[in-house]
Structure 1
Amino acid sequence: MKTFKFQSFVLVLIAFILGFSEFLIVGILDDLGTQFNVPVATVGYLVTIFAMVYAVSTPLITIMIGKYNLFWDLMVMMAIFTFGNILSFVATNFVFLAISRVVTAMVAGVSISLGLTFAGYIAPMSKRGWLLSWVFSGFSIASVVGVPLGTWISTQFGWRISFLTVIVISIMTMGLVFFSLPRDFKQKESTISGQLALLKDHKIQVGMLLPMFNLAAIYVFYTYLRPIITNQLHFSVQMLTILLGVFGISNIIGNRVSGLISEGPGLRAMPFVYISQLILMALMPLVFHYSWLGAVLLFLVIFTMPLINSPIQLFFLSIAEKKYPQSIVLASSLNSIFSNFGIALGSATGGIIVSHLSLNGVGPGGAVYALVSLGLVLWLNHMTQKGLSSDQNSL
Structure 2
Amino acid sequence: MTRFKMQSLIMTATAFILGFSEFNIIGVLNDIARQFSVSVATVGYLVTIFALVYAISTPIFTSLVGQRKLLKVLIGLMSIFTIGNLITVMASSYLLLVVSRIMIALVSGVSISLIMTFAIKLAPKEKKAWLIAWVYSGFSIAAVLGMPIGTWVSENFGWRTSFLVITVLSVVITVLLAVLLPGDLKQSNEQNSSLKSQLIIFTDRRILLGVLVVIFNFTGIYVIYTYLRSIFVSTLGLTTALVTPLFMLYGLMTLFSNQLSGRLAARQGLVKIPQIYAVLAVSFLLLPLCLNVTWLSLTILMNMGLSMYLINSPIQLHFLGITEENYPQSTVLAASLHSIFCNVGIAMGSAIGGLLVTNVGLVSVGPGGAVFIVLTFGLVILLNRTNAQMASNGND
Q: Within 1, Cα distance between the matches of 2:228 and 2:66?
A: 37
Structure 2: gaps (5+ residues): none
Residue deviations 1:335-389, cap 9 Å, x none?
0000000000000000000000010000000000001101111111110011111
Q: Write the mapping of 1:364-383 to structure 2, written as runs, cut at 5 A.
A: 364-383=367-386
Q: Within 2, Cα distance between the matches of 1:233 and 1:297?
A: 13
1:233 is matched with 236
Residue deviations 1:2-31, cap 9 Å, x none?
111000000000000000000001000000
- Asked whether the equivalents of residues 50 and 105 of structure 2 are also in contact (C-alpha less than 8 Å), the reply is yes
2:106 is matched with 106
Q: Write the mapping of 1:160-309 to structure 2, written as runs, cut at 5 A.
A: 160-188=160-188, 189=191, 190-309=193-312
Q: Aligned-pair distance for 1:233? A: 1.3
TM-score when normalising by structure 2: 0.98
Q: Within 2, Cα distance between the matches of 1:21 and 1:154?
A: 13
- Asked whether the equivalents of residues 59 and 336 of structure 2 are also in contact (C-alpha less than 8 Å), the reply is yes
Q: Count matched residues.
A: 393
Q: Aligned-pair distance for 1:265? A: 2.2
Residue deviations 1:127-150, cap 9 Å, x none?
000000000000000001000000
2:128 is matched with 128
Q: Aligned-pair distance for 1:158? A: 0.4
Q: Within 2, Cα distance between the matches of 1:214 and 1:9?
A: 28
From the superposition, tell whether residues 101 and 388 of structure 1 become closer, same or farther in structure 2 (CA, over 3 Å): same
Q: Within 1, Cα distance between the matches of 2:291 and 2:311?
A: 26
- Asked whether the equivalents of residues 117 and 187 of structure 2 are also in contact (C-alpha less than 8 Å), the reply is no
Q: Aligned-pair distance for 1:225? A: 0.7
Q: Within 2, Cα distance between the matches of 1:113 and 1:267?
A: 21
TM-score when normalising by structure 1: 0.98
- Asked whether the equivalents of residues 119 and 131 of structure 2 are also in contact (C-alpha less than 8 Å), the reply is yes
Q: Within 1, Cα distance between the matches of 2:343 and 2:331?
A: 19
Q: Aligned-pair distance for 1:199? A: 1.4
Q: Within 2, Cα distance between the matches of 1:153 and 1:54?
A: 26
* SS class of match (1:142): helix
Q: Aligned-pair distance for 1:223? A: 0.3
Q: Within 1, Cα distance between the matches of 2:209 and 2:224?
A: 25
Structure 1: gaps (5+ residues): none
Letter in 2 for 1:214: N
Residue deviations 1:303-356, cap 9 Å, x none?
101000000000000000000000000000000000000000000000000000
Letter in 2 for 1:100: S
1:153 is matched with 153
Q: Within 1, Cα distance between the matches of 2:255 and 2:281?
A: 21
Q: Aligned-pair distance for 1:67? A: 2.2
1:389 is matched with 392
* SS class of match (2:310): coil
Q: Aligned-pair distance for 1:187? A: 1.7
Q: Is 1:356 matched up with 2:355?
A: no
What value does the CA root-mean-square deviation take over the aligned residues?
Answer: 0.8
Q: Within 1, Cα distance between the matches of 2:306 and 2:269?
A: 17
Q: Aligned-pair distance for 1:291? A: 1.3
Q: Within 2, Cα distance between the matches of 1:347 and 1:315?
A: 27
1:42 is matched with 42
Residue deviations 1:35-80, cap 9 Å, x none?
0000001100000000000000000000012321101010011001
Moved >6 Å (runs of 4+): none
Letter in 1 for 2:358: S
1:328 is matched with 331
- Asked whether the equivalents of residues 66 and 194 of structure 2 are also in contact (C-alpha less than 8 Å), the reply is no
Residue deviations 1:143-173, cap 9 Å, x none?
0100000000000000100110000010010
Q: Within 2, Cα distance between the matches of 1:382 and 1:310?
A: 19
Q: Aligned-pair distance for 1:234? A: 1.4
Q: Is 1:86 matched up with 2:86?
A: yes
* SS class of match (2:67): coil
Q: Within 1, Cα distance between the matches of 2:358 and 2:67?
A: 45
Residue deviations 1:259-283, cap 9 Å, x none?
0000002200111111011011001
Q: Aligned-pair distance for 1:194? A: 1.0
- Asked whether the equivalents of residues 250 and 305 of structure 2 are also in contact (C-alpha less than 8 Å), the reply is yes
1:119 is matched with 119
Q: Write the mapping of 1:13-92 to structure 2, written as runs, cut at 5 A.
A: 13-92=13-92
* SS class of match (2:273): helix
Q: Within 1, Cα distance between the matches of 2:149 and 2:308?
A: 21
- Asked whether the equivalents of residues 12 and 134 of structure 2 are also in contact (C-alpha less than 8 Å), the reply is yes
- Percent identity between the aligned chains? 47
* SS class of match (1:65): coil
Q: Within 2, Cα distance between the matches of 1:122 and 1:229?
A: 42
